[in-house]
Amino acid sequence: MEKELQVYIDGVYYPKSQAKVSVYDHGLLYGDGVFEGIRAYNGVVFKLKEHIIRLYRSAHALMLKIPLTEEEMTQAVVETLRKNKLRDAYIRLVVTRGVGDLGLDPRKCPKPSVIIITDTISIMSKEAKEKGISTMITWVRRNPVDATSHEIKSLNYLNSVLAKMEATANGVDEAICLDKNGFISEGVGENLFSVKDGKIFTPPSSTGALAGITAELAKKFAKSLGYDVTETNITPFQLFTADEVFFTGTAAEVVPIREVNKRQIGNGNPGPVTKKLMAAFQKATADPAEGVPIYS
């Protein structure tokens, strides 16, 4: 029988089938907590430092005191991968407010809980990356920046879940969310870029879009390839008439978009800029310098 994966919960490892949290945990009751999705490629945890920094930044915004230092958290992630003998994996790092009572007050939760899951994930198929995906602009608006903004990577993802449900109901691969002013924000779990006349555009964080780690890499690669990258408001019309559109994300990586609301993007195939950035990303995931080694 194949050995079960082990899940880290507050310093103790449990078999996957026995890994549980209390029904009184405010992460479950109220979505009160933060998380990161992280990838490991060929024995290296890709951009782990950057993910840890973002986790602690999100926690700070929620006034959530993580009970481990950044270095201790880094070691806990690596050790969990070692325990499960994984070299290629998806890591879900979760910090909840912890166990409290049935009221909202976070002061009733004396100790936050840390969970580390190491497993696999399949978001976009090989075919999706070769041919591009279909998308639609959803009625579900991104929460404004003065609400539960997606600038904080919190456990409350109902905004994204509703948008994903609509995309599925309409037979398309993914949804694109607008901000409250009608500008493009992001996908349900991805940042968005458009290309027009050799220039690259992406929505600013003022639309509620998360500051994506893969998105920052894409900007870096684009500039090194000689492309201008501008953070600016993008209208649906500008998206419909773009030469290329693509998503970036830790789970999705770099994915071309061939269609938005039944409008073909460009010639309907992944464009040259997107292809170059996909190749640059794949090269980076093979570079040990881009992350933290699991096995020294």
Q: Which residues are catalytic?
A: 153
Q: Please count the other Cβ atoms lying within 10 Å of the Cβ belonging to residue 148.
A: 17
How buried is residue 65: exposed, middle or buried, by Cβ count under 10 Å (0-12/13-18/19+)? Answer: exposed
Q: Report the length, in residues, of the chain.
A: 296
DSSP per residue, 260-293: ETTEEPTTSS--HHHHHHHHHHHHHHT-GGGEEE
Q: Please count the other Cβ atoms lying within 10 Å of the Cβ belonging to residue 196.
A: 16
CA angle, 151 then 153 then 156, to 5°: 110
Question: What H or E segment, with its residue span, contains residue 184?
Answer: strand 184-187
- Residue type (1 letter), 118: T
Going by C-alpha positions, the residue among 97, 102, 91 that lies closest to residue 113 is 97
Going by C-alpha positions, the residue among 277, 175, 269, 184 that lies closest to residue 229 is 277
